[in-house]
Amino acid sequence: MKFHILTFGCQMNVHDSQWLTSALESRGWEQAPEDEAQVYILNTCSVREKPEQKVYTELGRIAVHLKRDPDIIAAVGGCVGQQVGTGFFNRFPFVKLVFGTDGIANAPDALERLVEGAQERIALLDFVDIYPEREVPCRDVRVEQKSRQAFVNIMQGCDNFCTYCVVPFTRGRQKSRHPEQVLEECRTLVKGGVREITLLGQNVNSFGLDKGGVGVTFAQLLYRVAEIPGLDRLRFTTSHPKDIAPEVIRAFGELDNLCPSLHLPMQAGSDDVLRRMGRKYDSKRYVEIVDGLRAARPNLALTTDLIVAFPGETEEDFEQTMEMVEKVGFESSFSFKYSDRPGVAALKMKPKIAPDVAAERLMRLQNLQNDITRKCLKKLVGTEDDVLVEGKSRKQDEGGFWWRGRDAAGRVVNFRFEGDRDLEGLMVPVRIVEAKKHSLVGKRTGDPW
Ligand code: 5AD
Ligand code: SF4
Atom of ligand 1 nearest to the CA of 10: 15
pLDDT category of residue 141 using cuts at 50, 70 and 90: very low
CATH top-level class for 2-124?
alpha beta
User: Is the CB of residue 169 less than 8 Å from the CB of residue 343?
Assistant: yes
d(CA 415, CA 129) in angstroms, rounded, equals 47
| Cβ–ligand 1 contact at 333 (below 6 Å) | no
d(CA 34, CA 14) in angstroms, rounded, equals 18
| Cβ–ligand 2 contact at 306 (below 6 Å) | no
Give the Å distance between the CA of 102 and the centre of ligand 2. 17
| Cβ–ligand 1 contact at 305 (below 6 Å) | yes
> H/E element holding 253?
helix 246-254
What single letter denotes the amino acid at residue 75? A
Would you kindly state where each structural domain of the chain is located, as residue ranges?
Answer: 2-124, 131-259, 263-379, 384-444
List pLDDT tens digits, range 33-83: 999 999 999 999 999 877 778 899 999 999 999 999 999 999 999 999 999
DSSP letters, 371-405, are HHHHHHHHHTTT-EEEEEEEEE-S---SSSEEEEE
CB under 8 A, 24+ apart: contacts of 136-139: 136/185, 136/188, 137/19, 137/22, 137/23, 137/25, 137/26, 138/26, 139/22, 139/25, 139/26
pLDDT category of residue 144 using cuts at 50, 70 and 90: low
Query: Is the per-residue pLDDT at 270 higher than 80?
Result: yes
pLDDT category of residue 135 using cuts at 50, 70 and 90: confident
Q: What is the mean pLDDT of the chain?
A: 94
List pLDDT tens digits, range 83-100: 999 999 999 999 999 999
- Among 8, 11, 3, 56, which residue's Cα sits nearest to residue 237? 11
CATH number of 384-444: 2.40.50
User: Is the CB of residue 306 less than 8 Å from the CB of residue 349?
Assistant: no
| Cβ–ligand 1 contact at 49 (below 6 Å) | no
Q: How large is the average pLDDT for residues 344-363?
A: 97
Strands 427-435 and 233-237: unpaired
Max alpha carbon distance in the chain (Å)? Answer: 63
**CATH level 3 topology of 263-379:** Transcription Regulator spoIIAA (3.30.750)
The reply to whether domains 131-259 and 263-379 share a CATH topology is: yes
| Cβ–ligand 2 contact at 343 (below 6 Å) | no
List pLDDT tens digits, range 338-352: 999 999 999 999 999
Lowest mean pLDDT among 79-93, 318-332, 372-386: 79-93
Give the Å distance between the CA of 48 and the centre of ligand 1. 6
CA distances 224 to 143, 188, 193, 219, 240, Å, are 20, 14, 18, 9, 21
- Among 7, 92, 85, 90, which residue's Cα sits nearest to residue 42? 7
User: CB atoms < 10 A from the CB of 231, how many?
Assistant: 18
Give the Å distance between the CA of 367 and the centre of ligand 2. 26
Nearest 10 degrees: Cα torsion 81, 85, 91, 97: 70
Q: Whose CA is nearest to atom 4 of ligand 2?
A: 202
Query: Any idea what DSSP says for residue 93?
Result: T
| Cβ–ligand 2 contact at 240 (below 6 Å) | yes
Omega cis (within 30) before 351: yes
pLDDT category of residue 140 using cuts at 50, 70 and 90: low
Please state the pTM of the whole predicted model: 0.93
Give domain 131-259's CATH number out of 3.30.750.210, 1.10.287.70, 3.40.50.970, 3.60.110.10.
3.30.750.210
Atom of ligand 1 nearest to the CA of 337: 2
Chain centroid to CA 119: 33
Query: Is the per-residue pLDDT at 197 higher than 70?
Result: yes
User: CB atoms < 10 A from the CB of 395, how many?
Assistant: 8
Q: How large is the average pLDDT for residues 136-162?
A: 79
User: Is the CB of residue 433 less than 8 Å from the CB of residue 441?
Assistant: yes
Instruction: Give the pLDDT of residue 396.
Output: 86
Query: Is the per-residue pLDDT at 142 higher than 70?
Result: no
